[in-house]
Chain A
Amino acid sequence: MKKYDVVMIGGGHNGLVTACYLQRAGLDVIVLEKNAWVGGAATSRELTPGFLYSNCSYVCSLFRPEIMRDLELPKHGLQVISYEGGAVFTRDGDYLASYRDHDSHRREFARFSKRDAEAYDRYARDVTRQCRFIQPLLMRTAPDPFSFKPRDLQELLYLAKKFGDFSPAEMAATLRFWTMSISDFLDEYFETDVVKAYLALSGIIGTALGPMSPGTAYVLLHHYMGEVDGSVGAWGYARGGMGAVTSALASSFKASGGTIRTGADVTGIMTHRGKATGAVLADGEEVLGKLVVSNADVKRTFLKLVDESALPERFLHRVRHFKMRGSSGKLNIALDSLPEFPALPSGSSCIRGDLHFTDTIERMEKGYDDWKAGRWSADPFVDMMIPTTLDPTMAPPGKHFVSCFVQYCPPKVEGNDWTDADRDAFAETVIKQISDYSPGFRERILHMEVRTPREIEQEVGLTEGNIFQGELTFDQLLFNRPVPGYAQYRTPVRGLYICGSSTHPGGGVMGAPGRNAAAEILRDLRHAPSHMSSAHDVI
């Protein structure tokens, strides 16, 4: 029976990144994907004829350009396009837009507050300073502070030195940033509700916390760390939808000789005497490997795939308590024509960016209150985008694909499993909110896919539908992600690695966890990672 060098469980973006790097190092790698397509949460799916849905993740910024280059993704079809800005609609019929042009952006803020308009630069400066500190850490394995291995000590020194380069004021700012709520943080800069609501969204996306919960300021940072072609903090669309990222990865992987098996649902990881030996599929077939890598989240990997008796008790305890709570849902909609927003002047560029309907932090926080009570938000926060305003490949001419990310959406409805009726009522809440600002929206709908945490977990395999494979709060970052002592992509099972967003540096379509995992695996194999670029300099 064939024995692969590496069996990769799951064909999400991180799994594919790891697989590509390992295959390119000369290993024989097989990717096992349960769905009939690869991509995990970065897919483009034709669920109704002529329309491609980015049906989980929907925008691209965090994906590391070093990886795109190393794996020749442009050659395999990946193109990322910057988008223009966006708007949050206010209940009095106005809106606050964001514009790419610096002075226009300031004048737009000045419509609401001259002070906030001029405060934005200081805010952006402070956020950028923090990003510049963290960015170089993304493509490095987090040091284990208790291993005392020379390499960990060296990495700790690197961290200490970076931190030591800070002035006392900057150190204080950093500690505050890592621990504050986004609401408190924004209060220090701005006075206008709608300005704060607009900026707060990056602090709560994908996170089961409200804007007033401590720790959400860091989540915001995580969303500013990306770039489009060197424009730090910018977001873009992957041309052809987010599936373009993973199809380029899959194509690159196959071009270097890798094997992908779709429809291969892994139900268990085989171990022998504390060492991983392969994966078992739903039909009982065994796929053998010298090494096994799991792209699944840490809970799915260790609570479902690995026999718990093979794992240390404390480790299991930490895995069980790793916070990975479902907090969001998604509506993917095919529209007959471009929706109208009477509040926007005709021809406004805002429609090509992100559109929101939550104009105060209080409304967001109330939405979170509903989640705590086990209900979806009655007045949800919606991040709506129409990528077809810039990307001609995703819908027939004149027709549009609309992606609506919706928060908050609980993993269970008042303690019970989601039903189809719940799902439809959830969708109705969202459509109603949009229709309040876009009359005729409902009539334009040709087809709609509604995804609650139930659907996301069932299809993508993310526990509770948590998009980050674990929340991005400071207690779950760096050497604490996912479990202290196991933050370097290795696990208590020899020969078993994890490479998904549960690991450092976390979620988003970033690819850094997958890349770092590949580096660690190659290190164990004593293989020089000469084909891996180190992180671009932050100068």
Chain B
Amino acid sequence: MMHLTAFNRAEQGHILTPRLETPFHERLAALSETNEWYSWAGYKAPHSIFDTELEYFAIRSTSALFDISPMVKYRIRGADAARYLNRLTVRDVAKLGIGRVHYTAWCDDHGHVLDDGTLFRLAEDDFRLCCQERHLPWLLDSADGFSVEISEETAEIAAVALQGPTAFAVLEGAGFAGVETLKPFQLAEFPHADGSVTISRTGFTGDLGYELFAPAKAALSLWDRLWAAGGGFGLKAIGYDALNRARIEAGFIVANADFITAEAALHADRERLPDEIGLDWLVDPQKPYFNGRDAILKARTKRTLKHVLVGLEIEGNIPAEGAIVYHRGKKEVGLVTAAIWSPLAKRNIAIASLSRPFGASVTDNLWVEIYAMRELQYQKLMKRARVVPRPFVKLERRSATPPGRF
């Protein structure tokens, strides 16, 4: 026990830095002009670096670096890793090839979504699961009877997203030879410094983009390598506010923003089945048993699904964030969870959670009530909303292989 005690004591000082700095912090802090920071899972993270508007356009016109190190990362290794993850998550892991990534979700016994995230298959029996919330007890409890090792590696792994039309050009310029062969959702290892970096063609913007994972100690040299190459391609560092605009255009949802995760919900009626938050397409009823399967399939057969998550296009140009959705302008049927004016689509778009049948079989005559505060006065607007497919913006450059240089 002595060694453990010594370890515990060495960690006592954590309270002196209640907000941790990510491995890239030094670079972000040096670039930050606005000094607008928030806490992302206990890490200092930028709302913006220099100008949210311009940062957004870096994503869509040149390229942007966004530090995703605070994202929670679990490593799952072992002979039963694939079988374990197949029981844990709703999507078929057997179909996930080595060197591939897929978006997935996992549920409690009642089929309620615990979180969504990306699963990286680094090797036959080596996976990385990235997500918004923390799940170690759930992952460990689920591992009973499986030969797997599960560890949390959020702090050990630095991660950065490089997104935008010149993202490939930046990587190419930085000397990551062979990166042009990566297809969407494919990953590969590339040498960096005295080690390596894992690059996956993934992202949260719906644009051409990559995510790079490296040991924390290699973070700064990786940043510098990208930054040096990015000079000629308009590379900018960005904060979350710009990324959030891009992700809404791409129609992606954020846990505990667009839906409440089952373990965080204080109100039982806030818990959601995958089909109630637009994740029905992930669920694979053909694959072997997975947690929540029976409840999800039962809700489908008995038609007891209560909610639906939809994309909305709203008339006008005033974002409808937090707006209540009405049917026929009277009956309250849901809530807008995210909304922006989309510069790329030139449409007023929103993600909303509605009570079925509204948004599912009844999609006509939907309205949103927008309270727009203008100089200490609310302008109350009742605007027509139309259910539209997500993503709101589809970019061919996102999936073109080989990728374009701009």
Contact = CB atoms under 8 A, between A and B. Distances in A.
A184 to B, nearest CB: 17
Contact of A104 (B15, B134, B136, B265): B15
Interface string A110-145: 111011011101100100110010000000000000
Interface residues on B, range: 20 to 34
A108 B18 CA distance: 11
Contacts of A92: 1, 5
A345 interface: yes
A419 interface: no
Interface stretch (B6-14, B26-34, B309-317, B369-377): B6-14
A1 interface: no
Contacts of A128: 266
B39 interface: yes
Interface residues on A, range: 20 to 34
Given A121-B263, A122-B263, A115 B136 contact: yes
B135 A107 contact: no
Contacts of B264: 121, 125
Given A94-B8, A101-B18, A111-B8, A118 B268 contact: no
Interface in B222-276: 263-266, 268
A167 B268 contact: yes
Contacts of A106: 42, 134
B266 A119 contact: no
Interface string B368-390: 00000000000000000000000
Contact of A345 (B13, B41, B137): B13
A32 B340 CA distance: 66
A148 interface: no
A104 to B, nearest CB: 5
A437 B8 CA distance: 18
A118 B134 contact: yes
A322 B15 CA distance: 46
Nearest to B12: A345
B11 A99 contact: no
Contacts of A97: 15
Interface in B1-58: 1, 5, 7-9, 11-15, 18-20, 39, 41-42
A169 B110 contact: yes
B5 A94 contact: yes
Contacts of B123: none
A103 interface: yes
B15 A99 contact: yes
B134 to A, nearest CB: 4
Given A92-B1, A108-B15, A345-B12, A114 B136 contact: yes
Interface of A: 92-94, 97, 99, 101-104, 106-108, 110-112, 114-115, 117-119, 121-122, 125, 128-129, 132, 166-167, 169-170, 189, 345, 348-349
Interface of B: 1, 5, 7-9, 11-15, 18-20, 39, 41-42, 110, 134-137, 140, 152, 263-266, 268
25 contacts: A92-B1, A92-B5, A93-B5, A93-B9, A94-B8, A97-B15, A101-B18, A103-B39, A104-B15, A104-B42, A107-B11, A108-B14, A114-B136, A115-B136, A115-B137, A115-B140, A118-B135, A118-B137, A122-B137, A122-B263, A125-B265, A128-B266, A167-B268, A170-B268, A348-B15
CB-CB nearest 8 A-B residue pairs: A103-B42, A118-B136, A119-B137, A118-B134, A111-B11, A107-B14, A111-B8, A104-B18
